[in-house]
Amino acid sequence: MMIAYIDPGSGAILLQWIIAGIIGVSLFFRTTIVGFLRKLLRRKPDDGENQARNEND
């Protein structure tokens, strides 16, 4: 049976890559999803109809 040996320096680099990858992917998708939802849920600009009603009241 052959077991691979990872010295502490290589293990630390590998752990750092894994953590950075997880954080990077989560931030990428968070900004992408938030941007998509903002575009999707953005209200249409008023055409002045609501302003005219408020001024008449």
Model pLDDT for residues 1-57, shown as the tens digit of each residue = 667 777 888 889 999 999 999 999 999 888 888 888 888 888 766 655 555 565 555
pLDDT given for residue 39 in this prediction: 87
Rounded to whole angstroms, the Cα distance separating 27 from 2 reads: 38
Q: What is the pLDDT of residue 2?
A: 65
> For residue 14, what are the contacts with CB-CB under 8 A and spacing of at least 6?
6
CA distances from 28 to 9, 16, 25, 34, 50 (A): 28, 18, 5, 10, 38
User: What pLDDT was estimated at residue 16?
Assistant: 95
Residues 53, 46 contacting (CB under 8 angstroms)? no
**What is the per-residue pLDDT for 35?**
87
Instruction: Please state the pTM of the whole predicted model.
Output: 0.52
Q: Hey, is 22 helix, strand or coil? A: helix
